[in-house]
Amino acid sequence: MTIPGPIGPEGALTQAFAYLQAGQYEKALRVARDVIAAEPREPSGHLLAGDALRHLSRGDEAGRHLREALALAPEWALAHTALAAFHRERREHSRAERHALKAIELDPMESAGWCELGIVYHEQGDHVNAQRCAMHALQIAPGSSNALNLLGMIQLADPATTLEAAEAFRQALAADPQDPFSQNNLGVASIAKSDYAGAEQHFRRALAGQPAQPLFRRNLYAALRHQSRPYRLLTLPCQLSLWLSGTYCGYLGIAIGAGLWVFILNILKDPYGPFQDIRLGLLGVIVWLILVWWPSLKLYERLTLRDVQGQAGEVPPRAGRAAVASWPLGVRLGLFVLALLGGATAVGVAISHPLVETFFAAFLVMSAISTGASLLIVKMLETLMWRARSRRLLARQGIR
């Protein structure tokens, strides 16, 4: 895409913004820096340069330009919104929330601030308040692709509203057909419905719009990887665990599962009866899953999925061996099963020793108790924090 170059600082800013919207971040950065060289006190030049650098994953430089833009225009809502996005991407959610709230205070009728605040809440798991922000952004700008994408991401967090999420993403794409993030989100929704071929198409369209976006490449790799039946079979225990934790209230479900394991391991603790063998078997299975199955699966993935990574454009150094990846599937799976059986034998021999068995039993019980207790405490603290947020949002004019 070629964007004509108008004359003068104002025209250059328009050009830089157009490059930014088109995903041509290097060109946007170059034009923005020309503006800064000509007008060092112009906050828009620093804002556009910081936004371009943020998309180019050059965080330290982006932060300097965005902070300079805010220093030059402390009451500029867009500068606060950009800094909110910058801190959110660095997982600094408290700072991101502060800047997003300030942007809303300065310009409550600008949907971008509400969208950014909603994304911050969504990433922290506060879907109720995130949805309030998304709905308010849609009241301000009914056709906003950012607000529709946010609403879709919130709905996608609940398996029961996957279809509604896909519809929101389609509306976002209709509002802005050139938005690659809408295509990416449609791909994520397709993965949630186990439509990996459809997801691949959406991710490739997203990459056509922004070829340098690493998120799109990682998602494309996931879609290609899950089209492999052997891989889906090998990851079945992991998929089952994720499904159970997602079905039973997320963190709370994990805590309940951990407590259930503690119950099983203790109820079967009978050193003089047949239950001792069952308990020993359960311990062996858990240790085997942690120490043998998972490392073997990751090794198998790295050795055999290089061709899939190549299709996704994700081929980091030493990611796999082309010679191994070209071996017949039966040979590769045979070696994988051999590694699992060898590991199972080693675990069985080791865990039959009383000291080893006692150590692993104590370790697993304490891990389950501490994990369950920690997650429940975190869940309670999050609930209290989200209720306080709800009160603050409801106190703002027009929020329902």
Q: What is the mean pLDDT of the chain?
A: 78
* Model confidence pLDDT, tens digit, residues 119-137: 999 988 888 899 999 999 9
pLDDT level of residue 294 (50, 70, 90 thresholds): confident
pLDDT for res 328:
66
In this prediction, residue 337 carries a pLDDT of 72
Pick the more confident residue, 168 or 365. 168
- The answer to whether the beta carbons of residues 1 and 25 sit under 8 Å apart is no
| Residue ranges of domains in the chain | 142-227, 232-386
What local confidence, expressed as pLDDT, does residue 3 receive? Answer: 40
Q: To which CATH superfamily is domain 142-227 assigned?
A: Tetratricopeptide repeat domain (1.25.40.10)
Tokens of 22: 């088109």
8 A C-beta contact, residue 216 and residue 203: yes
Q: Is 90 exceeded by the pLDDT of residue 10?
A: no
Q: Are 64 and 51 in contact (CB under 8 A)?
A: no
**pTM attached to this predicted model:** 0.68
The three-state secondary structure class of 333 is: helix
Greater pLDDT, 3 or 166? 166
The pLDDT of residue 2 is 38
Question: How much of the chain exceeds pLDDT 90, in percent?
Answer: 31
Q: How is residue 135 written in tokens?
A: 């709905």
Tell which wins on pLDDT, 383 or 34.
34
Question: CA–CA separation, 400 vs 394, rounded Å?
Answer: 6
Helix (H, G, I), strand (E, B) or coil at 17: helix
Structure tokens at 160: 């029961």
**Joined tokens for residue 83:** 């800094």
* Report for 103-117, 199-213, 385-399: range of highest mean pLDDT: 103-117
pLDDT value at residue 252: 53
Give the pLDDT confidence of 221-253 residue by residue, as tens digits: 888 888 877 677 767 666 665 565 554 445 555
